[in-house]
Amino acid sequence: MESLEYLMKGFLVAFQWHNLLFAFVGVLIGTAVGVLPGIGPMSGVALLIPITATMTGGMPPEHAATSAIILLAGIYYGAMYGGSTTSILLNTPGESSSVVTTLDGYQMARQGKAGSALAIAAIGSFVAGLIALIGLVFLSEPLSDLALRFGPAEYFSLMVLGLCAVSGLAGKSMTKALIMTVFGLLLGTIGVDNVSGVARFTFDMPVLYQGLEFLTVAVGLFALGEVFKTLLVREDGPGGIPRVGRVLPGRDDLKRSAPAILRGSLLGFFVGVLPGAGATMASFFSYILEKKWSKHPERFGKGAIEGVAGPESANNAASGGALIPLLTLGIPGSGTTAILLGAFIMYNVQPGPLLFDEHPMVAWGLIASMFVGNVMLLILNLPLVKVFAKIIVTPRRYLLPIIIAISVFGVYAVQINTFDLILLVAFGVIGMVLARHEYPLAPLVLGLVLGPMIENNMRRALTASNGDFMIFLEKPISLTFLLLALLWMILPLVLKWRRKGILSEEEA
């Protein structure tokens, strides 16, 4: 009950007119940041930190800190909302956690269901925001204690489970999915090794020392790959322009989406709590869960609304979950929360166990503002669904240059490097070739994301155990994840052999 009392005081702070204005500006900028690929919440928050200092000038220190953090947090979860728009309409992920939304969201848009997909993404994001808020209020302390039990061995095993679960994104062939996963892992090894400082697969090119930029690969594979495919297939004939269809989801869509939204929100929140896991991993896990859970897994990848509802809810809930280790332990759970940590310190507010005692106005004002910001995002986005959905009926001769321009601008803005533009085009061609031969692209992207994290955690665990691999089996949580990963790979094969045996008996 004490938490509810503090939350009420937080709402009194959040409902002050200037904080409402800061929340609105934050979510508006965040939505725009999410729509443009390449910028992402991390860059958006970093760019706005100096401006918040100017905007809050003249306020008392505690009030200035509260207003600035409210604005920056608004950009964070606003970007999670905005990332779905171009993923659904243009097959161009706005930021990394929206990659999964392209799998079914874009297919829905091509079938004339762009409005339903956008509306479900907005509703799912709102529900996820509410669940994350409830979790922040009541579960901060126990979940932060649990997160502290995760060492390098546990993280390694969790990510191995993630890679094995990628067979859920396999499409028709698990073999092709595993080939793409290994390809993604190989791409993840490019760059200077963090431990030894040795350059790997860089071919003496300094531009490759930092490795491949994740978004360059994702936008190239999905957005430019689709552009090249369209140019070759020549779909811009009569009837090539899809209908917008219903703008709001029907009763059947809502019935199918509601459980997916709830599952995605809960899963995303708990994954978000783990430092380093992040919204991208949450959205991939949610998609895999929905496909496994579904009675009709064959619909996934062809426009299943659950494939939009689950991942979109998961990535928004993960952004709320990532605030738990930041606020309660002072440990940033993702790149964006690391920048938020810097903003807290800039305003002389130290996140950690004493934050709620020493700066209750900042902590509870931020938590309450997340509810206000989510309501603002819903009010802002639902009326615009019809406007956004109209983009899909734009003739392809106008739409393709827009997709190319957004992709080039977004990728170039990340590192201001022309080499990234060459990579963008190269991965566009690779994406087109792979898609034409029915190789799934999502496992490649997940392999690229998880590869460096798996390697770093494995090496940290082995350093702690003096090279003893038994550390992965001696830790109960790590052992559980590895057993689940093993079962995930073996069970489908056993079921397949069993099915073949039954069929051969019937034929005999």
Query: Residue 190 carries which DSSP code?
Result: -
Query: What is the pLDDT, as a whole number, of residue 171?
Result: 57
Query: Measured between alpha carbons, how far is 425 from 127 in angstroms, rounded to an integer?
Result: 37
pTM, whole model, 2 decimals?
A: 0.73
* 58: alpha, beta or left? (left if phi > 0; alpha if psi -120 to 50): left
Query: Measured between alpha carbons, how far is 70 from 49 in angstroms, rounded to an integer?
Result: 12
* 153: alpha, beta or left? (left if phi > 0; alpha if psi -120 to 50): alpha
Q: Which residues of 365-399 are buried (b: 16+ CB within 10 A; e: fewer)?
A: bbbbbbbbbbebbbebbbeebeebbebbeeebeeb
Q: Are 288 and 306 in contact (CB under 8 A)?
A: no
- Single-letter amino acid code for the residue at 360: P
Query: What is the pLDDT, as a whole number, of residue 37?
Result: 64
- How far is the CA of 410 from the CAs of 216, 223, 348, in angstroms? 9, 12, 33
Query: Residue 93 carries which DSSP code?
Result: -
What would you report as the CA-atom Rg of the chain, rounded to the nearest whole angstrom?
23
**How many CA atoms, within 13 angstroms, populate the side-chain half-sphere of residue 323?**
27
Query: What is the pLDDT, as a whole number, of residue 421?
Result: 92
* Averaged pLDDT, groups of 10, the chain, 508 residues long: 78 90 90 72 76 75 87 87 81 78 87 85 89 83 71 86 66 78 91 85 89 83 83 55 61 86 91 74 86 82 87 88 80 73 83 80 88 88 73 72 82 82 93 88 80 87 90 91 85 74 66
199 φ/ψ angles, rounded to the nearest 5 degrees: -80, 130
Cβ burial, residue 27 (10 Å; 0-12/13-18/19+): buried
Helices then strands, each counted (H, E), the chain: 23, 2
Name beta bridge partners: 200.
191
DSSP assignment of 396-438 equals HHHHHHHHHHHHHHHHHHHH--HHHHHHHHHHHHHHHHHHHTT
Query: Residue 56 carries which DSSP code?
Result: T
Q: Are 65 and 355 in contact (CB under 8 A)?
A: no
Q: Are 474 and 151 in contact (CB under 8 A)?
A: no
Give the H or E element holding residue 200.
strand 199-200
Query: What is the pLDDT, as a whole number, of residue 336?
Result: 77
Query: What is the pLDDT, as a whole number, of residue 143?
Result: 67
Q: Are 97 and 279 in contact (CB under 8 A)?
A: yes
Q: Are 385 and 118 in contact (CB under 8 A)?
A: yes
Query: What is the pLDDT, as a whole number, of residue 238?
Result: 37
Cβ burial, residue 504 (10 Å; 0-12/13-18/19+): exposed
- Count Cβ atoms below 10 Å from residue 239 Cβ, excluding itself: 6
